Structures are given as structure tokens and as C-alpha cells.
Amino acid sequence: MSTPRKMSEKNSSPEISPKRTQGEIEVNDTKKFMSSPEMNIADPGMLFHNIVMRLTDHSSMGDALWFEVGEDLGRFSINEFCLITDMKCVGSTHLPLVESRLITRYFSTVRGVSREHLELQLSNAANLDNDDDAVKLSLLYLTFSIPLSNANSVKIDPKFFALADNIAEFNDFPWGVLSWEATRTAICNSVENRVASKRIPLKKNDKVHYSVAGSPHALLVWAYETLPTIALKFSYNYEHAIPRMLSWTTADNVKFDDVMSVFTEVGEKQPKAFVMMPTEPMGCAAIFEEPKCCA
């Protein structure tokens, strides 16, 4: 397996050159919330695809996603998502509709602010009034690039700009709830789109593509944590870290035949159900519970 690449070498946030030498906002809590940029991520598309295509219909068991590997069912729910990301996954996501100072100041001529607009504004940091605003816009950019990733052109709800004006409230917001909902919805939609595409005749060189919003990397980490055969073949584990997603990196050059072979081995050699449980005090402890029997 080839050496993994760090995300910072591929896609990093725009550089910020603040007018002042030091910012006046303490963002230590934000570092934990946004620790995901330190993840080592290669191109796991083929592996992710093969996991997603094993999604089964168990809607009667609640909002969890169930994946069938061999004769077993593996649960990927908000509980496991919290273990992996360590984001806050409890609490209300309701936000009042108030005018945003950041939008008024920097995006008054824009009809709906997207990540593209944020990137453009941050790349011209000399136009920012102060370090505080640079931090707030950067937080928004990172939030909608990683835990709530989506296409660059997708509009961001103005309520989040108002929230960013208060760093403490921004850090305490249950981003994990929104990230899980976005990830779950995107995974389900990708399966539906894939099935629908099979009904449409394709030309010889046509390829079927789909994108997954939210935090899809969490599903890969879930597979590494629960299926050792997959972890040994397609990933590296450096150390035990919190959140757990910081312990794993996906190998480069994942091939279709290797993925199919390993999934067959998993089905034959791991007859027991796979479940994740917390091993240390974590922020998700309040929501975690044993999975109900799926027999």
C-alpha cells in the first residue's frame, strides 16, 4: 500500500492574513470541534461505494442505517457517528431568524451566500475589518467544508452567520445532529440514485457518479472500527485518539477487485454482529445505548 496523503496537502482552507498580529478571540474549544482537518484522507471512493451498496431496508428499527455483510447486520447510527466524530449530537438545532451582521457587512450584494463566496472573501483577507471576523468566517468555511460538506455552490442558511457572531454559542451548537442527518440522508439518496441509474440504459463510455454530503468519512471509520479485515487491508491505524476518526487514514489506490475480495472474506470469517461501544468518557455518552436485537 502506498503512503497516505494528509488532507492539508490536498484541500486546505484559504490562508488568512489578519491585519493585527494577534486575534482577540480564544478559540481553543473550536480546535476540538474542527479537529477533522488533521485527518489523513486519500481517495476512498471505491471502498465507500462498496459499503454504501450494502445498505439494507430496516426502517422499522429507527433512524439507524444497517449494512449487510455476509449474514450479519452492522448498525451505523447517531451513536456510532458520535463515537467517531466526538461532535455534540444532542440538543436542539433550532435557531432564531435574526439579521446577520456578517452578511450585511461582507455579502450585502450577494443573493444567498455559498462556500464559494466565503472562500473568495477569505482569500482577500485585507478587506476584512478585523481578526475576529476572519475567525468567524473561517469557522463557517470549515463547518460547511467538513462536518456539513456539500457542493461549493449550495447556499448556507443565514442563521448560521448570525450564530458565528458568538464563538461560545457556535462551539456549543449541536453540529453533530445536523452532520449526522446530512450524512444519513446523503447515503440513502446515493443508494436510491444508484438503483435508479441502473434502470437507464448507458452508453459504452458513460459513468455513473454521485456525491455524498455531510461527513461521509465517518462511515469509513465505522467500517475500520468494526471490520478488522477491512481495516488491515485498506487503512492505517496510528494511535488511539479522540475523536476516533483521527486514528485512521485510508490507503491510496484502493482497487475494486481487492474490495470485493475483502468483503467476501468478512462475510465468511466474521459471523458475529459488529458493534461499537465507548471505551473512555466522551461527549456522546449521554446518547449511547446498546443496540436492540436485530434478529
Whether residue 232 is contained in a domain is answered as yes
Are 222 and 254 contained in the same domain? Answer: yes
Are 84 and 107 contained in the same domain? Answer: no
Are 168 and 102 contained in the same domain? Answer: yes
List of residues 6+ apart from 171 with CB closer than 8 A? 29, 30, 33
pLDDT at site 270:
52
pLDDT at site 266:
63
Whether residue 64 is contained in a domain is answered as yes
The SS3 call for residue 214 is: strand
Domain with 295 in it: 35-91+174-295
CA distance 218 to 81: 7
Beta bridge partners of 40: 249
Are 164 and 126 contained in the same domain? Answer: yes
Are 81 and 203 contained in the same domain? Answer: yes
CA distance 105 to 128: 9
Task: Please identify which residue in the block is written with the cell numbers 468555511.
Answer: 141
CA distance 240 to 220: 16
- Residue 271 grid cell: 459471523
pLDDT at site 48:
83
Whether residue 3 is contained in a domain is answered as no
pLDDT at site 172:
96
pLDDT at site 265:
67
Whether residue 183 is contained in a domain is answered as yes
What is the number of domains present in the chain? 2
Looking at residue 293, the DSSP 8-state letter turns out to be P
Amino acid at 59: S
Give the Å distances, CA to CA, from 211 to 118, 144, 190.
21, 15, 7
Task: Please identify which residue in the block is written with the cell numbers 456522546.
Answer: 284
- Residue 267 grid cell: 462475510
Q: What is the DSSP string of 108-160?
A: TT-SS-BHHHHHHHHHTGGGSS-HHHHHHHHHHHHHTTTTTB--TTSBPPHHH
The pLDDT profile of the chain, 295 residues, written as one tens digit per residue, is 333 333 333 333 343 333 333 333 334 444 444 444 344 444 467 788 888 888 887 666 678 898 877 666 788 999 999 999 999 999 999 999 999 999 999 999 999 999 999 999 999 888 899 999 999 999 999 999 999 999 899 999 999 999 999 999 999 999 999 999 999 999 988 877 665 555 445 454 555 556 778 998 899 889 888 877 777 778 777 777 778 888 888 777 777 787 777 777 666 655 455 567 665 544 444 444 444 433 3
CA distance 184 to 216: 9
Alpha helices, H only, 206-255:
217-226, 228-234
> Could you give the angle at the alpha carbon of 66 between the alpha carbons of 282 and 187, nearest 5°?
85
User: Which of 158, 173, 188 corresponds to the end of one domain?
Assistant: 173
Beta bridge partners of 74: 67
> Could you give the angle at the alpha carbon of 18 between the alpha carbons of 14 and 20, nearest 5°?
165
- Residue 141 grid cell: 468555511
pLDDT at site 46:
76
Are 99 and 138 contained in the same domain? Answer: yes
Cis peptide before 18 (omega within 30 of 0): no
Are 204 and 281 contained in the same domain? Answer: yes
User: Which of 173, 194, 225 corresponds to the end of one domain?
Assistant: 173
Q: How many CB atoms lie within 10 A of CB 204?
A: 4
User: Which of 173, 202, 232 corresponds to the end of one domain?
Assistant: 173
* Beta strand extents in the chain (DSSP E only): 55-56, 65-69, 72-76, 235-237, 248-250
Nearest to 69 by CA among 275, 293, 292, 273: 273
Give residue 228's Cα distance to chain centre.
22
Q: How many CB atoms lie within 10 A of CB 232?
A: 12
CA distance 197 to 200: 5
